[in-house]
Amino acid sequence: MPKLHVVVGSTRPGRLGLPIGQWAAQAAKEHAGFDVELADLAELGLPLLDEPGHPRAGLYAHEHTRRWSATVDEADAFVFVTPEYNSGPPAALLNALSFLYGEWLYKPVGFVSYGGVAAGLRSVQVLKQVATALKMMPIPESVAIPFVFKHMGEGGFRTDAPLEAAATMMLDELLRWTEALRPLRLNPPPAPAAPPAPGAPVSRV
């Protein structure tokens, strides 16, 4: 079975991202198309990007990067669970994306977003742009949760039928893309012959 990592993109104490991520991981387990794991950025504790080399070289100076690299590398697909902060993505999620390159290639990603009236969708729009620079495939089917506080109760996150239906649609499509992109994941472009020197510009084209 393909491996799906549900990435909790917010890290602050008391974040809603954790119960929502746990719900998304549970929905993915019940979907039964993936081998599912929760990847919690707060638990991972990455510092702000502190690697001297460009991630395309895949040569990492720090143990925290090697750990994150191994986690992302083993996944075939992702669900990013994201709030929006000031109409954009949380810094922790952008930072975690920037740490790596080859580990993201040709992997599809679905989004579970939440917030006020905009349901976190402005964050998703930015994340889609960044994801395509990493040759990921951001899929259109998503779960968007407006007025998220209405879904929070004593027992944590309260789902409902429309959210469950949206999660199923997203996971069905994510599985199709995961399978369709497998040949590309098995045949990635060659790594750069020599790692770029720290600070050297790296062309993407």
Ligand X SMILES: Cc1cc2nc3c(=O)[nH]c(=O)nc-3n(C[C@H](O)[C@H](O)[C@H](O)COP(=O)(O)O)c2cc1C
Q: Which residues bind to ligand X, rule: CB under 6 A?
A: 10, 12, 15-17, 83-87, 115-116, 118
Burial of 94 (C-beta count, 10 Å sphere; 0-12/13-18/19+): middle
Q: Shortest distance, CB of residue 161 to ligand X, whole angstroms?
A: 23
| Rounded Cα distance, 108 and 4, in Å | 10
Report the SS3 class of residue 157: strand
Least Cβ distance, residue 5 to ligand X (angstroms)? 18
CB closer to ligand X, 115 vs 138: 115
* Minimum distance, C-beta of residue 50 to ligand X, in the bound complex (Å): 23
Of 132, 112, 100, the closest CA to residue 19 belongs to 112
Question: Given the complex with ligand X, which of 85 and 196 has the nearer CB atom?
Answer: 85
Smallest separation (angstroms) from ligand X to the CB of 123: 8
Q: Which is nearer to ligand X, 53 or 83 (CB)?
A: 83
Phi, psi of 82 (to 5 degrees): -140, 135
Are 108 and 5 within 8 A, CB to CB?
no
**Shortest Cβ contact with ligand X: which residue?**
115
Nearest to ligand X of 69, 123 (CB atom): 123
C-beta of 12 vs 182, nearer to ligand X: 12
- From the CB of 81, what's the least distance to ligand X, in Å? 8
| CA pseudo-torsion sign 127, 151, 28, 173 | negative
Residue type, 9: G
